[in-house]
Chain A
């Protein structure tokens, strides 16, 4: 196992982590500020990918596709917040789970109805395709490097938004005490819609960016949604910083575990069996990580202390 391979795998883990962060950021904000469990967050990821694929396919421009993804996901987010979710803030979590699960089905079948059952095509723009050679002779796909860059830039942007702007102050206040900021004259319902749209747009952006190297198909959001929930539980619900650290931890654990555990198993097993059992254990890695973090800190790494 060479150093080059290890560095390449760390980059892969980082790239996976920052894309998870885009998903988890919205999820954790929505849960933290509004106390809402939004299972349909994965559907917004799918909406973003489909919007990008449709627009990029029609215009030939990946950039326009990204804009369309942001717009479509934000619009879909606003729509479901106003039509469905707004009625559920006071409802028990079980009702929210039921309603947002119904939304998953509506979005999935709706997308199939519009786009058909076959996966869509979305391509990496020419300028970003192919590998580049990094210092040390590592060949790494340029597009994945760009994803890492975009993810980090958005993380910084979100941090600035929340720590340095008036909206950010309102969001943080909303997390701490909803009634009080309503009493102080902040239009809480508008704030909620805004946060929801922001979370949705980030999910849509992630869907579009990742869609270019994966398969744009109905149901693509649900596996990511599960990982995003693991991320926010590890990071502490409501904390953007927690979501960032959690996402990187999950990305690195998943990638590195999948590569190195089978290698470790090969030391005392025959290769075929080592591959199989190593892969099986590695796929549990992030859940074991989550368990360990929760034993150590029951509210997650950066969660509010009870």
Chain B
């Protein structure tokens, strides 16, 4: 009898950790210039975790300060000392390239809520790496496709001189069928675009495409609006997200931008997400917040059917992507990147808040150009 009790006690002690505790490490940017993006991803992610009602998911959140070396340190700490099962959260492609390959090779799962650098979609793809947002080129490709339908034939294009900037112009050119009136690489972090705007004025273009994320886009749009040039502008959603539109003000009104998400996508998950996000945080969600929310829901859906300790089953469960996305239909391609519809949105004013409205579809069920190179 005593032996039996002891055995039972031992069994219950051993069993206890098995039912509970999935550990998730979130490395994201919460301080410095790019903090708005990380905060949105974190808030969206934590909202979904809270709504799931599960208390056996332990999320460790750390700030990478947008520095690759710090991100690497944090991921080493999370993998080796905190022993997380799943990593997520990185915003910037250069940080993702520093962290992701090493992490997935240590049998940790990585779910990307934002960055989608091309190497990780092509030759460097990995069975433990899932991208829930987009491959970097996607929104720019959609902008190129939109420019065709809008009838533009001569675009002036500009982006910062760094890998994601090159990807952006490559993506636009891949789909845009017209000519280029000019192609400019600006400095990363540049704040004054007077020289570029003068070149646009002199170029004879019929449209402008730009990829200038965050503060760079705010500066460009304000200066462009003040220059008196009235050529139409197209860009990816990164310069028109909810976080920065208020800072651009009227200068962005009417600009068309491409995004895989918007708050008016009509499905119950999205409606509930927008409403609960506003109720919880007192502001409108951005596309980054929707990506964080979707990432957490993907994770939750996989946890329903498998535990990360059974890596193969858990991977299959992730690949199935059996969750209700804020974007409606959502599926992974063979390289674990989304196949999704990308919309054209227009900046509008609702009361005194600037936001976006969907005006059409730019690319339907779009995959990426690198999937064929991925040998998993």
Chain A residues packing against B (C-beta within 8 Å):
2, 4-5, 8-9, 12, 15-16, 108-109, 112, 117-121, 123-124, 129-131, 139, 141, 143-144, 210, 212-220, 223, 255, 258-259, 262, 271-272, 275-276, 279-280, 283
Question: Is B187 within 8 A of A130, CB to CB?
Answer: no
Question: Is B191 within 8 A of A118, CB to CB?
Answer: no
Contact code string B209-248 (vs A, CB < 8 Å = 1, else 0)? 0000011101100110011100000000000000110111
Question: Is B187 within 8 A of A279, CB to CB?
Answer: yes
Known: A112-B31, A215-B218, A276-B185. A220 touches B191 (CB 8 A): yes
What is the bound-complex CA distance between A300 and B222, given in angstroms?
Answer: 36
Cβ-based interface call for B360 (8 A)? no
Question: Is B185 within 8 A of A124, CB to CB?
Answer: no
Cβ-based interface call for B18 (8 A)? no
Question: Is A131 within 8 A of B228, CB to CB?
Answer: yes
Taking the closest CB of chain A, its distance from the CB of B327, in whole angstroms, is 24
Cβ-based interface call for B107 (8 A)? no
Provide the residues of chain A in CB contact with B247, threshold 8 Å: 118-121, 215-217
Taking the closest CB of chain A, its distance from the CB of B26, in whole angstroms, is 16
Known: A139-B201, A139-B228, A279-B185. A213 touches B222 (CB 8 A): yes
What is the bound-complex CA distance between A5 and B204, given in angstroms?
Answer: 13
Cβ-based interface call for B328 (8 A)? no
Provide the residues of chain B in CB contact with A118, threshold 8 Å: 36, 243-244, 246-247
What is the bound-complex CA distance between A137 and B210, given in angstroms?
Answer: 27
What is the bound-complex CA distance between A223 and B32, given in angstroms?
Answer: 13
What is the bound-complex CA distance between A214 and B224, given in angstroms?
Answer: 11
Provide the residues of chain B in CB contact with A141, threshold 8 Å: 194, 223, 226-228
Q: Assuming A8-B198, A283-B187, what are 5 further A-B pairs, CB within 8 angstroms? A: A8-B201, A121-B248, A131-B226, A279-B186, A283-B161
Provide the residues of chain A in CB contact with B202, threshold 8 Å: 2, 4-5
Provide the residues of chain B in CB contact with A215, threshold 8 Å: 191, 214-216, 218-219, 222, 244, 247
Taking the closest CB of chain B, its distance from the CB of A261, in whole angstroms, is 12
Q: Indicate which residue in A214, A218, A259 contacts B219 across the interface (CB closer than 8 Å).
A: A214
Provide the residues of chain B in CB contact with A220, threshold 8 Å: 33, 191, 215
Taking the closest CB of chain B, its distance from the CB of A251, in whole angstroms, is 10
Contact code string B176-198 (vs A, CB < 8 Å = 1, else 0)? 00000001111101011011001
Taking the closest CB of chain B, its distance from the CB of A241, in whole angstroms, is 25
Question: Is B199 within 8 A of A119, CB to CB?
Answer: no
What is the bound-complex CA distance between A272 and B189, given in angstroms?
Answer: 21
Q: Which of B192, B218, B244 has the most A CB atoms < 10 Å from its CB?
A: B192
Known: A9-B195, A121-B246, A271-B183. A213 touches B219 (CB 8 A): yes
Known: A139-B201, A279-B186. A223 touches B246 (CB 8 A): no
What is the bound-complex CA distance between A181 and B256, given in angstroms?
Answer: 63
